[in-house]
Structure 1
Amino acid sequence: MSRFLPLTIHFVGGGTMVVASIVDAKKALGGRWKSKDVPSFARAARLVDDAVAGICRPAIAFAAFKKAAAEQGLLEPAGPSTALSILDQLWSGDGKGRPK
């Protein structure tokens, strides 16, 4: 099981990739982005490399990667989890937690 919730990245030119680990993030950084010259991309690339080398916490590097992808509009919008959808259905009954 992955350490992070999977992100779907839509690269420039149409390719997609699911990113759920630092290794995946490193691979995705090599894909086609809108701009690899923006500060958020450079920061994400540096932190992902540092995480691979063991000198940065993976969670920090993954968050930087996610931020860079979001800023460039490459992230697929994530819907609610299956568990959250089930809870929403259960609570959408009569307002007192009783199903319809």
Structure 2
Amino acid sequence: MGNFLPLSIKLVDAKSMTVSSICEAEAALQGQWPNKGAAPYRDACRLIAAAKGGSCSPAIAFAAFKAAAIDQRLLQPAEKSDALKMLDDVSKDIQI
């Protein structure tokens, strides 16, 4: 289980991944990205490596990974969890 809320990304080769940890982010960065020379991608690679080495906060590194995925339009829309769907169903009948 990851340390962060899961992100769904779809790489250039149509491979979908769920990323919720620094190790999963590192694996995703090894996949096919549209532009591995882009600054957000390079920053994410650098910060993920620094987080694994202990010189960067994992939260900052994961945020950089998310920013790179957004920048290259790889981040997929999140689906509502089953619990949130149930809450929506229950609360739709409540009138304020």
What letter matches 1:31 in structure 2?
A: G
The equivalent residue for 1:95 is: 95
Cα RMSD for the two superposed structures: 1.3
Identity over aligned pairs, percent:
46
The answer to whether residue 7 in structure 2 is matched with residue 7 in structure 1 is yes
Secondary structure class of the residue paired with 2:77: coil
Name structure 1 gaps, 5 residues minimum: none
What letter matches 1:88 in structure 2?
A: D
Per-residue Cα deviation, 1:24-57 (whole angstroms, up to 9, x for no partner): 1111111100101111111111100000101111
The structural deviation recorded for 1:84 is 2.1
Structure 2 Cα separation of the partners of residues 82 and 94 of structure 1:
19
Structure 1 Cα separation of the partners of residues 81 and 35 of structure 2:
31
Secondary structure class of the residue paired with 2:44: helix
The equivalent residue for 1:77 is: 77
TM-score computed with the length of structure 1 as normaliser: 0.87
Structure 2 Cα separation of the partners of residues 10 and 54 of structure 1:
28
Structure 2 Cα separation of the partners of residues 19 and 8 of structure 1:
6
The structural deviation recorded for 1:90 is 1.4
Count, aligned residues:
96
Per-residue Cα deviation, 1:72-99 (whole angstroms, up to 9, x for no partner): 1111110223222222111100414xxx
Larger radius of gyration: 1
Matches within 5 A, 1:1-100: 1-96=1-96
TM-score computed with the length of structure 2 as normaliser: 0.90
Select the structure with the greater relative contact order (CA < 8 A; seq sep ≥ 6).
Answer: 2
